[in-house]
Amino acid sequence: MKVYIGRTGLMNQIIEALLSHRSVRHFEDKHLSKEQIEAIVLSAQAASTSSFIQAYSIIGITDPEKKKKLAELAGNQSYVAENGHFFIFCADLHRHEIISEMEEKDIMISLESTEKFMVMLIDAALAAQNAAIAAESLGLGICYIGGIRNNLQEVCDLLKTPKRVIPLFGMAVGYPKKLNEIKPRLPLSHIYHENEYEQDAINFRKQLEDYNEVISQYYNERTSGKRKDTWTEQMAEMFSQPKRMYMNDFIKKHGLDLK
């Protein structure tokens, strides 16, 4: 059976670290230092940013009560409260609204454009992934937390975010207590196309079926036989239960009535 843990003939320290990623959900009870937090945030900020727009903000949560509340809001995920530091990555066009006042220019159409919405999501995600890599390079573990979008209004209230700021996901960071096995990804040939999107339906399904075997075996080993579902089963089940369908109304209410 093919094993889709990334391996390449071109290994260096950075690629080795990238290919060793696995989410960490159990952390030592030890806070990150100010220097560690600063290195992680500066690394996030160093990411490329569409047209230099820097349309994101990062909120670090140090108040244990707030962390507890966020853990609850994120669907009782204990590691949202129990970690070395908790970051929240927000899409942010608030500062551009201030800029419009400073520069006395009407930018409303841009602020509410689907294009700028996409730009801020892309910017925030790029910054976050840089933060993740920086943290992992310091020997720390990370777990992204999309669960904060279960109750976004309450999260906004807790963080006192202004209009045009949307918390997108959290990131728990800390000293790993327990490491999972690396989770195999789809085969490279399924993800990477050359020159055009390959649409050989038979090969496409075959790749997914092969991957199903790999993932089923991965879960079987990780859970001592308790779980053996395949990736396509997992995806079909997940997509059959629409989630967070309030989001369209939510972003409209938050000053992003997209055009």
Ligand X SMILES: Cc1cc2nc3c(=O)[nH]c(=O)nc-3n(C[C@H](O)[C@H](O)[C@H](O)COP(=O)(O)O)c2cc1C
Residue number with CB closer to ligand X (66 or 183): 183
Number of residues that bind ligand X (CB under 6 A): 13
Report the nearest approach of ligand X to the CB of residue 186 (Å): 11
Phi, psi torsion values for 142, nearest 5 degrees: -135, 155
CB of 75 to ligand X, least distance (A): 7
CA atoms of 225 and 36, how far apart (whole Å): 38
Q: In what order do the strands lie in the sheet with 56-61?
A: 56-61, 85-92, 165-174, 141-145
By the rule CB under 6 A, 147 interacts with ligand X: yes
How far apart CA 94 and CA 180 sit, in angstroms, is 38
- Contact between 169 and ligand X (CB under 6 A)? yes
Residue length of the chain: 259
Q: Can residue 146 be called a binding residue for ligand X (CB under 6 A)?
A: yes
Nearer residue to ligand X within complex by CB, 50 or 78: 78
Residue with tokens 């609850």: 72
Query: Residue 93, Cβ neighbours under 10 Å: how many?
Result: 26
The Cα–Cα gap between 97 and 163 comes to 9
- Listed ranges 27-35, 42-50, 56-64, 137-145: which one lies at the site for ligand X (CB under 6 A): 137-145
User: DSSP per residue over 147-205, as a string?
Assistant: GGGGGHHHHHHHHTPPTTEEEEEEEEEE-BS--PPPPPPPPHHHH--SSS----HHHHH
Q: How far is CA 111 from CA 93, 96, 98, 100, 165, in A?
A: 7, 8, 11, 10, 12
The least CB distance from residue 255 to ligand X, in Å, is: 23
- Centre a 10 Å sphere on the Cβ of residue 250 and count the other Cβ atoms it contains: 16
Residue 9 Cβ vs ligand X, minimum distance, rounded to whole Å: 22
The least distance separating ligand X from the CB of residue 136, rounded to whole angstroms, comes to: 11
> Applying CB under 6 A, does 183 fall inside the site for ligand X?
yes
Burial of 239 (0-12, 13-18, 19+ CB in 10 A): exposed
87 counts as binding ligand X under rule CB under 6 A: no
> Residue 5 CB, nearest distance to ligand X (Å)?
10
26 binds ligand X (CB under 6 A): no
CA atoms within 13 A on the CB side of 195: 0
Q: Give least dist CB 172 to ligand X, A.
A: 9
Of 4-12, 92-100, 102-110, 139-147, the segment contacting ligand X by CB under 6 A is: 139-147
Is 77 among the residues that bind ligand X (CB under 6 A)?
Answer: yes
Name the one range near ligand X by CB under 6 A: 20-28, 41-49, 98-106, 197-205.
Answer: 20-28
Q: Identify the residue among 18, 19, 23, 154 touching ligand X (CB under 6 A).
A: 23
Residue 143 sits in the site that holds ligand X (CB under 6 A): yes
**Which residue, judged by CB position, is nearest to ligand X in the bound state?**
146
Site for ligand X contains 145 (CB under 6 A): yes
Residues at the interface with ligand X (CB under 6 A): 21-23, 25, 77, 143-147, 169, 180, 183
